[in-house]
Amino acid sequence: MTKTGKLKIQWGHLVLLAIIAGWILAYLLDARATSMRVSNLLLVQPVAILALILVLVLVPQCFVREQPNDNTLAANNQDTPPAKETPLELAKIGILTAAFVALAFLMERIGFDVSVFAFLVLGLYICGERNWIANLAFSAIFTVALIYGYGAIIPFPFPLAVL
Amino acid sequence: MTIKYNRRSLLKLTGGTLAAASVASPSILFAQDSYPSRPINVVVPFDTGGYNDRLARAFAPFLSQRLGQPLNIINRGGAGALLGHSYFLQQPDDGYTLLCTSAAPFLPLNVLTQNAPFAVTDFHMMNLPSRDYTMMATSTESGITSIEDVINQLKADPRSLTIGIQPASADLVNLMLLADTVGISRDELRLVTYDGGGPARNAVAGNVVDIALVGGQGFLPLADKIVPLLIFDDAPRDNWGSAIVTEVAPGADFVLGSQRGWGVHASLVEGSPEIYQTILSAVEETSKAPEVIEALSSAQLATDWFGPEVSNRSLLATAAVMEQHLSILQGS
Amino acid sequence: MIDLAELSDAFTILSSSWSAWIFVIPGLLLGLFFGSMPGISITMAMAIFLPMTLYMDFLPAIIFLTSIYTGAGFGGSVPAILMNIPGTSSAVATTFDGYPMSRQGRHNEALGIALASSVIGTLVSYILLMFLIEPVSGIVLKMGPLELFFVAIWGLMLLGSLAGESIARGLLAGTFGLLLGTVGMNSAGYIRGTMDIPWLLDGVPTIPAMMGLLAASQLLNLVNTKHLIEDEDLRRISMRKITGGFREAFQHKTIIGRGALIGVVIGSIPGVGSSISNLLSYSEARRNAPDGDTFGKGNPKGVIAAESANSSSEGGAMATMLALGIPGGGATAILLAAFAMHNVVGGPSFIANNKDVVYAIIMSNFAQALLLLGVGLGFVYIASYIVRVPMRYLIPSVLVVALFGSYAINGTASGPITLAVFSVIGWGMVRYNYPVAAAVVGLILGNLVEGNLLRTYQISGGELAYALERPGALLILALMVVSFGLSAFSKMRRKRKAGVQMGAS
């Protein structure tokens, strides 16, 4: 348990904590700006303060001391990053996530049919389908099935471009 | 399929490039067909299961018979009907989108407290058959028997009773106006706030709060668990047998409760009077048809015919009183 | 308690109108299908078929709608188990162990267990309902804000056991969720944290946020795997294993009984219902199980606890609806509307004057539950073919289905946007060992905790003595303390026993 080994910073973990803490702080300030009455801050203020304290407790855990000589400890240590993807695998996750977020924000504007079809084609390709005929056929059929399937049972229309 | 394709793309063209300003274009495009030539949408700015949803779904089959086209119910709930009302106005004013909503208090509330991107007068209500009223009630176990008990207790000590109520509601406006008239200190009242009328009614029926002020019609199933104390209207309603506000506090201002029913774009009335007239007569005929009255009243839904003039006047009057007492709605 | 003469009248009603029965299986199938589509709520399914019932007689109409109710109640468990998608908040706890079981190749058992637990839960809840309908109606309205606050706190205790390895991370996830659950307009009318987005006035949309945190975050992480279940041999669909799940469910009578009781009681409270009962039941099962540590990693008991409670909530909600004439949630509001369409008004007088009809409804629900066993078996058998689909097809497809489902909730982009935002946050949380389930529990309970704490404060004026006026609340508090004390005590005893055995060997 000596303090040797390189200090490794989990940048992703720091970013996650920064996002959570940033939102909580903004929320607390917004709530306080709305009203300082008890009936507004009764739960939000104490819980937000507790959460911010927890963030402070957790920040040091983003700095992990690597212990190359002690494998058993590293294996048991929950602070080691759980995922061991290669950069390529991480990039795949990144592209798919970005496409998913883009789809969510744009599908109503572009039309569900076109945007969903495009996402499926891209998604299937990223996830490893290299047969273009299978890819395009599946994406087309699935898009049509979803639009008419869901469309038949929900009480409002989907915005569409082509269908 | 091809016909559908063309129609959709035309709609996109008018909706997208010409924008909402060119209001009359869709009706010009379909001028060769007589209205209605395709299914009509009914926007309900609440989720499935609520009063407006049930009203729309019960009324739609009969209205559809008279219009000769199917009606699709579109639920757009959320944010106190603000989302649904905005969505409705964004649809072309070609008579193919109708609205079924609680015009009061939600339209004035959207405008006064939620910075809505519209005015109450952007909507034209053809008929508001359901006119709810605020009712003050107490539990049968509370020991309170009359409105005089309540007023006397609150005059002696405004904190002596807990009052179940919804924030930013017509009921709250009515409570405060009553308090002003009979001389009870507004600021000291012990309000217990509920997210909906149902929870507030359940709370008073279970004697969890001493009194509650909520829409009166919703109390009907709980009638034998509560004592009705006061009705905020100028005439007795639903055989409750309680006092009415014009007797107890003469001169007190009050607002009606929910006024629910059927509306269209105000711009339709000006822009396409023939289409408006077609819809209006269909709604009037349907509302007055005996089989409709029977079907709806058995489902405890209103179908009385008041007509556009009375309905809009009543809505605007409610909006005016609410605006006058805006500070109550906004809270502090 | 049970009026035998009325009971036999009920049999007469049911046997004289055989036509009513033909609606059960279509109703169940529709319910299963709608319920298993993410984002389609039970309420929506029932609302769509409500106008159809206008043309039926009273009893067939009610039987048809309650069949949809029963079917949809179980339907939500299928995507929860196979894809970690809780289509409704009542299936959240099902995902905790159901999905890990699927990934280990025990999807057949998990589905069988869920089906059997649901059916038994429904049966038990209607039996309880038959006895309890009158006492329940007396208590339900008495539930004040302090009582509900304690119920919510009981639910929050689950955070402790969801925390996993790091208490601090679990608590941060839980408090983060709790705060998210309070966004929007609170009960007193204050508007916070909406960032001027109109739809956030109603709060963060719960179902899309849950789907994002639990399901989408997982799927994004699976991009580099070939199949949901790594081992090809385990990917089989086996009727034998599904029915084996039935047997397994029957072995845990205590968990089912407790789940059904929690479901009926919590389900009968208007506005609380099945979204809380499945969490409470899961939490209790976990604390009281000797192998509590393996919950969340594919322990069948977790599925049993969750499913028995969420299905039995239907019985509780029906009790409130029949006895008081008030809806506890959307589904019972639709049923009341159907009652009204046939000139039947629910409430105390209805029960007093129409006991035979009430019994008939209850008994038809027995029959529905039993038929669900058969219909559901076929349904899960077909649905479980999902595990055979290669991941390269499954991931994009399920992501899109989740998006459609989140859009289907109210037809605006609010659902898809929430889903996308929370899938990114959830992915980050999973990556750094923050329990997303704790955030989901906080999110579900946030509003309930705040609203009832607020009303308690408003009624009591901040005086603690108010608690003494509420014996019901003190009883709930006492129950909670006893329950926690007992499970701590038995855990200690088990440990000591284990210690002694170790010493002896």
Q: Look up the domain containing A48 and give its range.
A: 7-76
Provide, as residue numbers in chain B, all residues whose Cβ is less than 8 Å from the Cβ of C143.
206, 208
Three state DSSP letters for B214-269: EECHHHHHHHHHEEEEEECCCCCCCCCCCEEHHHHCCCCCCCCCCEEEEEEEHHHH
Instruction: Give whole-number Cα distances, A111 to A102, A144, A148, B40, in Å.
Output: 13, 13, 14, 21
The tally of domains found in chain C comes to 1
Task: Classify residue A162: in a domain, yes or no.
Answer: no
For B40, phi and psi rounded to 5 degrees? -110, 140
In angstroms, the separation between the Cα of residue B274 and the nearest Cα of chain C is: 31
Top-confidence residue, A55 or B239: A55
Amino acid at residue number C254: T
Helices (H), C145-297: 145-156, 158-162, 167-180, 206-210, 217-221, 239-251, 253-267, 274-288
In angstroms, the separation between the Cα of residue C325 and the nearest Cα of chain B is: 6
Contact: C141, B159; criterion CB under 8 Å: no
Contact: A97, C172; criterion CB under 8 Å: no
Quote the CA–CA distance of C61 and C42 in Å, as a whole number: 16
Contacts of B118 (CB under 8 A, 6+ apart): B85, B86, B89, B110, B111
Cα radius of gyration rounded to whole Å, chain C = 22
Is the interface score ipTM higher than 0.95?
no
Look at residue B21 in the predicted model and tell me its pLDDT: 36
Q: pLDDT tens for residues A56-81?
A: 999 999 888 765 554 444 444 444 44
The answer to whether residues C487 and C288 touch, using CB atoms and an 8 Å cutoff, is yes
Task: Classify residue C57: in a domain, yes or no.
Answer: yes
Percent of chain C clearing pLDDT 70 (strictly above): 95
DSSP annotation string for C59-97? HHHHHHHHHHHHHHHHHTHHHHHHHS--SSGGGHHHHHH
Provide, as residue numbers in chain B, all residues whose Cβ is less than 8 Å from the Cβ of A35.
331-332
Quote the CA–CA distance of B226 and B209 in Å, as a whole number: 12
- Nearest by CB to B47, which of C48, C270, C410? C410
Both structure tokens of C194: 């909406």
In angstroms, the separation between the Cα of residue A83 and the nearest Cα of chain B is: 39
- Is residue C340 within 8 angstroms of chain B, CB to CB? yes
Q: What angle do helix axes C355-383 and C24-36 make, rounded to 10 degrees? A: 50
In angstroms, the separation between the Cα of residue B246 and the nearest Cα of chain A is: 33
Question: B2, B12, B96: which to substitute to probe chain A, counting the most A Cβ within 10 Å?
Answer: B12
- Nearest by CB to B331, which of C189, C202, C346? C189
List where CATH 3.40.190.150 sits in chain B: 2-132+258-330
Beta bridge partners of C192: C184
- Count helices and strands (H / E) in chain B: 14, 11
End-to-end CA distance of chain B: 56
Contact: A100, C429; criterion CB under 8 Å: no
Report the run of H or E that residue C457 belongs to, with start and end: helix C436-460
CA B323 to chain centre: 17
Flag whether pLDDT at B9 surpasses 60. no
C-alpha closest to that of B266 among B121, B72, B109: B121
Task: Classify residue C481: in a domain, yes or no.
Answer: no
Task: Classify residue A163: in a domain, yes or no.
Answer: no
End-to-end CA distance of chain C: 55
In angstroms, the separation between the Cα of residue A40 and the nearest Cα of chain B is: 11
Flag whether pLDDT at C120 surpasses 60. yes
**What is the torsion angle, in degrees rounded to the nearest 10, for the CA atoms of residue B302, residue B308, residue B310 and residue B316?**
100
Question: C167, C393, C463: which to substitute to probe chain A, counting the most A Cβ within 10 Å?
Answer: C393
Count CA atoms closer than 13 A to A31's CA, side-chain side. 27
For C49, phi and psi rounded to 5 degrees? -95, -5
Look at residue B40 in the predicted model and tell me its pLDDT: 86
Give me the total of CB pairs closer than 8 Å, taking one residue from chain A and one from chain B. Answer: 17
Contact: B206, C144; criterion CB under 8 Å: yes
Q: Any idea which architecture B134-248 has in CATH?
A: 3-Layer(aba) Sandwich (3.40)
Contact: A156, B75; criterion CB under 8 Å: yes
The answer to whether residues A48 and A27 touch, using CB atoms and an 8 Å cutoff, is yes
Asked if residue A91 and residue A71 are part of one domain, the reply reads: no
- pLDDT band of residue B8 (cuts 50, 70, 90) is very low
Question: C217, C398, C404: which to substitute to probe chain A, counting the most A Cβ within 10 Å?
Answer: C404
Contact: A127, C396; criterion CB under 8 Å: yes
Count CA atoms closer than 13 A to B315's CA, side-chain side. 32
Provide, as residue numbers in chain C, all residues whose Cβ is less than 8 Å from the Cβ of A24.
176, 179
Under DSSP, is residue C373 helix (H, G, I), strand (E, B) or coil?
helix
Asked if residue A96 and residue A126 are part of one domain, the reply reads: yes
Task: Classify residue C492: in a domain, yes or no.
Answer: no
Task: Classify residue A160: in a domain, yes or no.
Answer: no
Q: Which residue of A has its CA nearest to C417?
A: A104
Look at residue C218 in the predicted model and tell me its pLDDT: 83
Residues of B with CB under 8 A from a CB of A: 5, 8, 12, 41, 48, 72-76, 193, 331-332
Specify the residue for token string 């805006």: B326
Asked if residue A11 and residue A71 are part of one domain, the reply reads: yes
Task: Classify residue C414: in a domain, yes or no.
Answer: yes
CATH class entry, domain B2-132+258-330: alpha beta
Provide, as residue numbers in chain C, all residues whose Cβ is less than 8 Å from the Cβ of B79.
198-199, 201-202
Task: Classify residue A117: in a domain, yes or no.
Answer: yes
The answer to whether residues C296 and C100 touch, using CB atoms and an 8 Å cutoff, is yes
Contact: C341, B74; criterion CB under 8 Å: no
- Nearest by CB to B8, which of A35, A155, A160? A160
Report the run of H or E that residue C102 belongs to, with start and end: helix C92-103
Question: B176, B192, B220, B303: which to substitute to probe chain C, counting the most C Cβ within 10 Å?
Answer: B192
Asked if residue A60 and residue A20 are part of one domain, the reply reads: yes
List where CATH 3.40.190.10 sits in chain B: 134-248
- Is residue C455 within 8 angstroms of chain B, CB to CB? yes
Task: Classify residue A129: in a domain, yes or no.
Answer: yes
* Pick from A51-60, C152-161, C177-186: least confident: C152-161
- Nearest by CB to C172, which of A54, A97, A155? A54
The answer to whether residues C87 and C36 touch, using CB atoms and an 8 Å cutoff, is yes
Task: Classify residue A71: in a domain, yes or no.
Answer: yes
Both structure tokens of C105: 């190749």
Quote the CA–CA distance of C301 and C128 in Å, as a whole number: 22
Neighbours of A4 (CB within 10 A): 10
Contact: B195, C325; criterion CB under 8 Å: no
Asked if residue A68 and residue A21 are part of one domain, the reply reads: yes
Q: Kindly state the average pLDDT of the residues C294-311.
A: 91
DSSP 8-state secondary structure symbol assigned to residue A161: S
- Nearest by CB to C420, which of A39, A105, A155? A105
Q: Look up the domain containing C200 and give its range.
A: 4-469
In angstroms, the separation between the Cα of residue C175 and the nearest Cα of chain A is: 6
**What is the torsion angle, in degrees rounded to the nearest 10, for the CA atoms of residue A90, residue A96, residue A101 and residue A103?**
170
* Average model confidence (pLDDT) across chain C: 85
Q: pLDDT tens for residues B187-238?
A: 889 999 988 788 888 889 889 999 999 988 888 778 888 999 999 988 888 8
Beta bridge partners of B98: B42
Contacts of C467 (CB under 8 A, 6+ apart): C146, C460, C473, C474
Question: B74, B91, B100: which to substitute to probe chain A, counting the most A Cβ within 10 Å?
Answer: B74
Instruction: Give whole-number Cα distances, B285 to A76, B65, B95, B298, in Å.
Output: 76, 11, 17, 19
Q: pLDDT tens for residues B19-45?
A: 333 333 344 444 446 888 888 888 888
**What is the torsion angle, in degrees rounded to the nearest 10, for the CA atoms of residue C363, residue C368, residue C369 and residue C370?**
100
Provide, as residue numbers in chain B, all residues whose Cβ is less than 8 Å from the Cβ of A114.
none
Q: pLDDT tens for residues C50-96?
A: 777 777 888 888 889 999 999 988 988 999 999 888 877 788 899 99
For B241, phi and psi rounded to 5 degrees? 75, 15
Q: Is C59 exposed, middle or buried (0-12, 13-18, 19+ CB in 10 A)?
A: buried
Contact: A119, C400; criterion CB under 8 Å: yes
- Is residue A9 within 8 angstroms of chain B, CB to CB? no
Question: Highest mean pLDDT range out of A48-52, B244-248, C457-461?
Answer: A48-52
Rounded (5°) CA angle A48-A54-A59:
125
Asked if residue A132 and residue A109 are part of one domain, the reply reads: yes
Give me the total of CB pairs closer than 8 Å, taking one residue from chain A and one from chain C. Answer: 194
- pLDDT band of residue B13 (cuts 50, 70, 90) is very low
- Nearest by CB to B195, which of C47, C324, C451? C451
Asked if residue A92 and residue A38 are part of one domain, the reply reads: no
Q: pLDDT tens for residues B203-214?
A: 898 899 999 999
Asked if residue A93 and residue A64 are part of one domain, the reply reads: no
Quote the CA–CA distance of B329 and B67 in Å, as a whole number: 40
